[in-house]
Amino acid sequence: MINVQEKKLCNENRILPSHYLKMLQIMSLEISEGRVTNKSDAHRLFKVEPSKVDRVYDMLVKKQG
């Protein structure tokens, strides 16, 4: 489920919630396998603006921490 902060992030960045959840899933997998260690590593995973990837990455780190 998406919480209020995540809904706000999706609205502000014009990301569909389904795409946001898929991005989280892919980033989590890549981080756990050691292929993504920072925001810039995640940029290559998606064909969207790097700033959107950065915001999703920040939210993922915030949720895990």
How many Å apart are CA 42 and CA 27, to the nearest integer?
Answer: 7
Is residue 43 scored above 80 in pLDDT?
yes
Average pLDDT on 39-49 reads 96
Please give the pLDDT value at position 46: 97
Query: How is residue 13 annotated by DSSP?
Result: H
Name the burial class of residue 11, with classes exposed (0-12), middle (13-18) and buried (19+) by CB atoms within 10 angstroms of its CB: exposed
How many CB atoms are closer than 10 A to CB 44? 12
Q: Model pTM greater than 0.85?
A: yes
pLDDT tens by residue, 13-41: 999 999 999 999 999 999 999 999 999 99
Please give the pLDDT value at position 52: 97
Domains and their CATH numbers in the chain: 4-64 (1.10.10.10)
